Amino acid sequence: MKILLFITILSLSIFSSQDSGKFGWRKLADKEGLYIEFLFYSEADNTNNGVVVKLENKNDHSVEYDFDLIFRAEDEEKTQNVKGLLLPKQILTGSNEGLFWVPFKNGKFISEVGLKNLKAGKKKEDRNPPEN
Protein backbone atom coordinates (compact mmCIF):
# COMPACT_ATOMS: atom_id res chain seq x y z
CA MET A 1 0.00 0.00 0.00
CA LYS A 2 1.39 3.40 -1.00
CA ILE A 3 1.06 6.23 1.46
CA LEU A 4 1.10 9.76 0.12
CA LEU A 5 1.29 12.65 2.57
CA PHE A 6 0.75 16.31 1.71
CA ILE A 7 0.79 19.46 3.76
CA THR A 8 -0.88 22.49 2.23
CA ILE A 9 0.91 25.74 2.87
CA LEU A 10 -1.76 28.04 4.27
CA SER A 11 0.13 31.11 5.42
CA LEU A 12 3.58 32.29 4.45
CA SER A 13 4.00 34.08 7.76
CA ILE A 14 3.54 30.90 9.78
CA PHE A 15 6.26 29.01 7.94
CA SER A 16 8.79 31.69 7.18
CA SER A 17 8.80 34.12 10.10
CA GLN A 18 11.35 32.22 12.21
CA ASP A 19 13.71 29.35 11.65
CA SER A 20 15.06 28.74 15.14
CA GLY A 21 13.88 26.07 17.52
CA LYS A 22 10.70 24.22 16.59
CA PHE A 23 8.69 27.24 15.41
CA GLY A 24 7.86 26.98 11.74
CA TRP A 25 8.94 23.37 11.27
CA ARG A 26 6.09 21.21 9.94
CA LYS A 27 6.11 17.43 10.34
CA LEU A 28 6.01 15.41 7.14
CA ALA A 29 6.49 11.90 8.57
CA ASP A 30 8.16 9.68 11.12
CA LYS A 31 9.12 6.04 10.70
CA GLU A 32 11.49 3.74 12.59
CA GLY A 33 12.80 6.66 14.67
CA LEU A 34 13.43 8.87 11.61
CA TYR A 35 11.63 12.21 11.90
CA ILE A 36 11.15 14.32 8.76
CA GLU A 37 10.16 17.99 8.96
CA PHE A 38 10.25 20.94 6.58
CA LEU A 39 10.40 24.71 6.73
CA PHE A 40 8.99 26.96 4.02
CA TYR A 41 10.87 30.05 2.82
CA SER A 42 8.80 32.64 0.96
CA GLU A 43 11.81 34.17 -0.86
CA ALA A 44 14.48 31.50 -0.75
CA ASP A 45 16.52 32.95 -3.62
CA ASN A 46 15.14 36.51 -3.26
CA THR A 47 12.40 35.69 -5.79
CA ASN A 48 11.12 32.11 -5.58
CA ASN A 49 9.89 30.02 -2.62
CA GLY A 50 11.98 27.23 -1.22
CA VAL A 51 11.82 24.36 1.23
CA VAL A 52 14.44 23.11 3.67
CA VAL A 53 14.09 19.64 5.17
CA LYS A 54 15.30 18.45 8.57
CA LEU A 55 16.04 14.77 9.18
CA GLU A 56 16.46 13.54 12.75
CA ASN A 57 17.46 10.06 13.87
CA LYS A 58 16.10 9.47 17.39
CA ASN A 59 17.62 5.97 17.54
CA ASP A 60 20.77 4.62 19.16
CA HIS A 61 21.69 3.00 15.83
CA SER A 62 22.25 4.27 12.28
CA VAL A 63 19.22 4.60 10.00
CA GLU A 64 19.12 4.35 6.21
CA TYR A 65 16.37 6.35 4.50
CA ASP A 66 14.92 6.75 1.02
CA PHE A 67 11.85 8.79 0.04
CA ASP A 68 10.45 11.13 -2.60
CA LEU A 69 9.57 14.73 -1.81
CA ILE A 70 6.78 16.21 -3.89
CA PHE A 71 6.38 19.94 -4.53
CA ARG A 72 3.13 21.25 -6.03
CA ALA A 73 2.42 24.68 -7.47
CA GLU A 74 -0.67 25.67 -9.42
CA ASP A 75 -0.60 23.27 -12.40
CA GLU A 76 2.90 21.91 -11.90
CA GLU A 77 4.45 19.16 -9.76
CA LYS A 78 8.09 18.24 -9.17
CA THR A 79 9.58 15.25 -7.33
CA GLN A 80 12.96 14.97 -5.63
CA ASN A 81 14.44 11.70 -4.33
CA VAL A 82 16.17 11.91 -0.96
CA LYS A 83 18.26 9.06 0.43
CA GLY A 84 21.15 8.53 2.75
CA LEU A 85 22.29 7.48 6.19
CA LEU A 86 21.86 9.12 9.59
CA LEU A 87 24.14 8.16 12.44
CA PRO A 88 22.68 7.57 15.92
CA LYS A 89 20.99 10.76 17.26
CA GLN A 90 22.18 12.73 14.20
CA ILE A 91 20.27 15.70 12.76
CA LEU A 92 20.79 16.93 9.18
CA THR A 93 19.29 20.04 7.62
CA GLY A 94 19.98 22.78 5.10
CA SER A 95 21.73 23.33 1.81
CA ASN A 96 25.12 22.06 3.02
CA GLU A 97 23.50 18.65 3.56
CA GLY A 98 21.63 18.72 0.22
CA LEU A 99 18.29 19.28 1.96
CA PHE A 100 17.24 22.65 0.48
CA TRP A 101 15.28 23.13 -2.73
CA VAL A 102 13.85 25.90 -4.87
CA PRO A 103 11.78 23.63 -7.11
CA PHE A 104 10.08 26.29 -9.27
CA LYS A 105 12.30 28.98 -10.77
CA ASN A 106 9.38 30.60 -12.60
CA GLY A 107 7.83 32.51 -9.66
CA LYS A 108 5.14 29.89 -9.04
CA PHE A 109 4.06 29.59 -5.41
CA ILE A 110 4.66 26.24 -3.69
CA SER A 111 1.19 25.32 -2.47
CA GLU A 112 1.87 21.80 -1.15
CA VAL A 113 4.81 19.76 0.05
CA GLY A 114 4.37 15.99 0.14
CA LEU A 115 6.21 12.76 0.70
CA LYS A 116 5.83 9.27 -0.80
CA ASN A 117 7.65 5.94 -0.94
CA LEU A 118 9.19 6.36 2.52
CA LYS A 119 11.62 3.60 3.47
CA ALA A 120 13.58 3.81 6.72
CA GLY A 121 15.30 1.27 8.92
CA LYS A 122 18.46 0.10 10.60
CA LYS A 123 21.61 0.29 8.55
CA LYS A 124 22.01 -3.08 6.80
CA GLU A 125 25.27 -3.95 8.59
CA ASP A 126 23.56 -3.29 11.96
CA ARG A 127 20.63 -5.62 11.25
CA ASN A 128 22.58 -8.86 11.45
CA PRO A 129 25.67 -8.39 13.59
CA PRO A 130 28.45 -10.92 12.94
CA GLU A 131 28.58 -13.95 15.18
CA ASN A 132 31.55 -14.32 17.56
44-94 pLDDT, tens digit per residue, is 888 889 999 999 999 999 999 999 999 999 889 999 999 999 999 999 999
Backbone angles phi, psi at 85, to 5 degrees: -135, 135
Domain ranges of the chain: 4-124
**32, pLDDT greater than 50:** yes
Beta strands in the chain (DSSP E): 4-8, 26-31, 34-41, 50-57, 63-73, 76-86, 91-93, 100-101, 112-122
pLDDT value at residue 41 = 86
Angle at 53 between CA 44 and CA 33, to 5 degrees: 170
* pTM beyond 0.85: no
Give, in words, the CATH class of 4-124.
mainly beta
